[in-house]
Amino acid sequence: MRILLLALLSFLIFPDQQRDEIDGVWVGPFESSTHGSQSTISYPKVFNLKNGEYHVDGLMIEEESGTFSFTDKTITFGNETTNLVSKPGKNIDSISFQNPTNNLNPIIFRRIPDSLKSDDFQNVELTGRKFRSEIDNQISVHFINDSIVSYSFPGEDEQRWKYKRLDFHEFDILLVSDGRTPPIIIKKQDGNTIRVSFYRNQLVDDIWTVK
């Protein structure tokens, strides 16, 4: 009887533990190459998973909500099922999906840590401003209006891209159509500087300074 009771308890508890492992806000998609690097592919997206429900938004896609379920091998959003290459764990910040066009390089989404949540969305000003990155101070970023951003690289003509800024489940997220730019999480504004973070292979912190 004791063994049967323990088995029933584990059956009831395990689904909640699984949901805890996958719950969170995820950004991507990234593609992992055979030598371990990760680059952004396609238009960027962000989705929130919580208690069996999902909410997704992104650049050039329609906002969508629904229910999801997953096993060790698959995840299903509504009626659409995708194979998992790896599923997240409690201390794992990535989830890998099978790439429908290239089985060698899985599609990866990265979980945003709660430490990057922001309540400063309304106070961070981007439109009409120019910034210089602390990580690469040769790059100039100009938010021309509320949907177009330009980059100036040394020796290259100015390049313009579409962008979308989201106030998404307590995160301030910037999505840019340039494939070289990963989803950017805006933390806060301090005077003439803005603190941001984004994923390359690992989470990177940067400071943008107004020019």
The Cα 211–Cα 130 span in angstroms is 6
Q: What is the DSSP string of 171-184?
A: EEEEEESSTT---E
The Cα 145–Cα 129 span in angstroms is 9
116-210, what's its fold? Lipocalin (2.40.128)
Mean pLDDT of the chain, nearest integer: 84
- Exposure pattern of 80-117 as b/e (b: 16+ CB <10 Å)? eeeebbebbeeeebbbbbebeeeeebbbbbbbbeeebe
Q: What is the DSSP string of 103-131?
A: TTS-EEEEEPPGGG--S-GGG---TT-EE
Residue pLDDT, tens place only, 15-60: 455 556 889 999 999 886 544 455 666 789 999 999 999 999 999 8
Task: Name the token pair of 62.
Answer: 């329609």
Domains 2-111 and 116-210 equal at CATH topology level: yes
Three-state secondary structure call for residue 33: coil
Residue pLDDT, tens place only, 137-196: 888 899 999 999 998 877 778 889 999 999 999 999 999 998 888 999 999 999 999 999
The Cα 188–Cα 205 span in angstroms is 12
Select from 145, 146, 211, 136 the least CA-distant residue to 181. 136
The Cα 10–Cα 23 span in angstroms is 20
Three-state secondary structure call for residue 70: strand
CB 111 within 8 A of CB 94: yes
State how far the alpha carbon of 26 is from the alpha carbons of 87, 93, 104, 143, 191, in Å. 13, 9, 22, 25, 29
Which residues fall within 8 angstroms of residue 107, CB to CB, at 6 or more apart?
Answer: 28, 29, 30, 31, 41, 96, 97, 98, 99
Residue pLDDT, tens place only, 43-55: 899 999 999 999 9
CB 24 within 8 A of CB 68: no
Backbone angles phi, psi at 121, to 5 degrees: -55, -45
Confidence band of 10 (pLDDT split at 50, 70, 90): very low
Which residues fall within 8 angstroms of residue 80, CB to CB, at 6 or more apart?
Answer: none
| CATH hierarchy code of domain 2-111 | 2.40.128
The answer to whether the pTM exceeds 0.75 is yes
**Residue ranges covered by each domain of the chain:** 2-111, 116-210
